Amino acid sequence: MASDNLVIADRTFQSRLIIGTGKYPSNAVMAKAHEASGADMVTVAVRRVNISDRSKESLLDYIDTSKMFLLPNTAGCYTADEAVRTAQLGREAGLSNWVKLEVIGDEKTLFPDNEQLLEATRILARDGFVVLPYTTDDPIVCRKLQDAGAAAVMPLGAPIGSGLGIQNPNNIRIIREFSRVPVIVDAGVGTASDATFAMELGADAVLMNSAIAGAQDPVAMAESMKLAVRAGRLAYRAGRIPRKMYATASSPVEGLVGR
Amino acid sequence: MNITLNGDPLDVPGPVSVAALLETLAIDARRVAVEHNLVILKRAVFDQTIVREGDNVEIVNFVGGG
């Protein structure tokens, strides 16, 4: 099939798998997992520098930024104001105007506060940001985010870190149908089939962290996710057969011996 | 002088430029963002922005996240 890159705003990515940089057993394992994943965009969080202990190695020593595009997030923010401030700090730290926008509404579920998310999307888009908002799998909210200036929408498959897989596949399909911007399923993937399924539903990309970082062998899981995302995308483009209640024979029904 | 750095009190010689403060703290200026009294600074102004007694400074960098 013809080349099939992911295009968001003015940027082209080779891979439709976007991965995180958190919770790996070590930075060295993370670097190997990144390599195995084939991803060319990784998310990072923005936090205070540890002043008292400067011995800690820097995350950026383990990310080849000539190959990997850095996508700062606003994880842990609970209001639009906090998220906007964090996004602006991330822009100065990374010198790019892209942000994975998270505005969380609840500690236990980490579900987004869509009201605050919309507000932050509007402010940041007006400020020249390429905004990729993490949202619930609600087609109407996704449409509003797009209208507010989002460069992509990132509906969750399931709660962050839950590994439950795609809980509402029909909504993902509807969101894809409604959207003029890329749809990135963000959060909830547990294993390779979840990523394939998301892509088969028409997602333009999948973003994950825990499923790889938390696997017993993160490097092997990273490779499996690379293949899973590709397989799902190919299947989506190939066009699957319709589901039917009863059998349809694959072999000819004529010319049978003895009839 | 006393300033508030990343939410904690800190006693440093000053007034001092943001660039010099980062150097004192052994922080690579190319990998951080700095907020001075709630104003987010461009890297280009680290040299000319002066931190004074009582000022509030936030220094952030990238860490692992999803």
Handedness of CA B65, A226, A204, A5 (dihedral sign): positive
Inter-chain touch B65–A43, beta carbons under 8 Å: yes
pLDDT attached to residue A111: 97
Instruction: Tell me if chain B has a CB within 8 Å of the CB of A93.
Output: yes
State if pTM tops 0.90. yes
- Second-level CATH architecture of B2-60: Roll (3.10)
pLDDT attached to residue A51: 87
Band (A58; pLDDT cuts 50, 70, 90): confident
pLDDT in tens, A190-204: 999 999 999 999 999
Inter-chain touch A89–B62, beta carbons under 8 Å: no
Cα–Cα distance, A222 to A127 (Å, whole number): 35
Active site residues of A: 100
Inter-chain touch A54–B25, beta carbons under 8 Å: yes
Inter-chain touch A210–B66, beta carbons under 8 Å: yes
pLDDT attached to residue A1: 61
Q: Which two tokens stand for residue A13?
A: 């990515």
In chain A, which residues have their Cβ closer than 8 Å to the Cβ of B8? 51
A48: CB partners within 8 A, 6+ apart:
B6, B7, B58, B59, B60
List average pLDDT for each run of 10 residues in chain B, which is 66 residues long.
Answer: 96 95 94 96 96 97 95
Average pLDDT of A83-87?
Answer: 97
User: Which helix (H) or strand (E) segment is B58 a member of?
Assistant: strand B56-64
Q: What residue of A is the nearest CA neighbor of B34? A: A89
Instruction: Tell me if chain B has a CB within 8 Å of the CB of A180.
Output: no
pLDDT in tens, A107-128: 999 999 999 999 999 999 999 9
Band (A175; pLDDT cuts 50, 70, 90): very high
Interface test with B, best of A29, A34, A48, A184 (most B CBs within 10 A): A48
ipTM score for this prediction: 0.95
Average pLDDT of A226-248?
Answer: 96
Q: Which of A30, A46, A85 sits opposite B62 (nearest CB)?
A: A46
The DSSP 8-state label assigned to residue A73 in this structure reads B
Measured in angstroms, the CA of A247 and the nearest CA of chain B are apart by 44
A1: CB partners within 8 A, 6+ apart:
A234, A237
Q: Is the pLDDT of residue A258 over 90?
A: no
CB B42 within 8 A of CB B48: no
What is the set of domains in chain A, with CATH numbers? Answer: 6-238 (3.20.20.70)
pLDDT in tens, A206-223: 999 999 999 999 999 999
Cβ burial, residue A107 (10 Å; 0-12/13-18/19+): exposed
